[in-house]
Amino acid sequence: MSKHGRILVAMSGGIDSSLAAVMLHEQGYEVIGMTMKTWDYASSGGSKKETGCCSLDSINDARSIAVELGFPHYILDIREEFGDYVIDHFTGEYLEGRTPNPCVLCNTHIKWDALLKRADRLDCESIATGHYANMQFNDGRHYVSKGIDSWKDQSYVLWGVSQESLSRTKLPLGYLHKSEIREMARERGFIDLVNKAESYEICFVPDNDYRGFLKRRIPGLEAQVAGGNFVYEDGTVVGKHEGYPFYTVGQRKGLGIALGRPVFVTEVRKDTNEVVLGDLPDLFRDGMYVSKLNWQKYDGITKPLETVTKVRYKHDGTPALLIPDEPGKIKVHFHDGVNGIAPGQAAVFYEGDDVVGGGWIMKNFRQDKELF
């Protein structure tokens, strides 16, 4: 009989999830490891060698840790549900002129649900992952807070996890720095984990060529969208582009146009197949609408709330006022302009280190030219 009960640990084969399993095992939990296979690299058609969390090497690395420590390890094939939901959403968002975040979607709608279903079948009270974040419980609410390692903090990607799922989740790495995890692995003799390169690509676009992925995924797309105009905000046409789905807000490189100075994508217009270009100051917006909300620290808001809001993973966050709008949507007024607010990305709202909630960015605007 274990000291703390049975727990299902998501193991990608990397150092973080492996050490999460090791720590829980050492603390006296009855650990069961599970590696999720979300994608076949051969299906992507890309040029890069198979690496990352779905590769055979990563599955074997996770299994070897389990074998060495003497706990069970299983492989969970979720390719069908992953493809139907995450990849269809990924392609659909680009076709709508937005910039998707498939890793957030996968965490919140696929991996947690899949883990909890299998946890129930295996009589596991809890699940655990190797995310750098912390779990909190106050006033009847479960919520995520930032990990102590500010560089590795992953609270941003967990905003969409439900109350029920959070209530059964443990995040053992939240109070540790990455350097401490590496040292713990080294002390235990897991040198291969210490030396293993980390993967930051989208698992189903291992070569980081999302344009190529879209072209392979949607036959005939290039012909359908080619020939649109690059324009300035005032409507001046300055060139032709390959098609609006192949550009994202904030993009500077790979535009295929030379205007004598650095320019950035400031807007993608699906309906007219236009890509708007501008200088760096033209990227700044001080407002946005956010929908499909998930509240963590509070059960929603009924009056304006001051927060620090992040609009992408590595964004430090900007002070912003959340203003209730129609059901399922809020308006966000930033106190300073924010660079590159991309529709389709996640917005996450913080009070101090605590995740208040988050949602998907619908549209950005300038407060002096509010759109709705």
Active site residue ranges: 106, 203
Output the CA torsion 237→242→248→252 (10° steps): -70
- Write out the two tokens for 59: 């599955």
Of 122, 131, 203, nearest to 166 (Cα)?
Answer: 131
- Binding region: 10-17, 36, 130
Q: Which helix (H) or strand (E) element contains residue 199?
A: none
Looking at the DSSP assignment, which residues form a beta bridge with residue 132?
none
Specify whether the CB–CB gap between 104 and 254 falls below 8 A: no
| HEC profile of 89-112 | HHHHHHHCCCCCCHHHHHHHHHHH
220 phi/psi in degrees, rounded to 5: 85, 0
SS3 of residue 288 by DSSP: strand
Tokens standing for residue 104: 């957030």
Residues of the binding site for ATP? 10-17, 36, 130
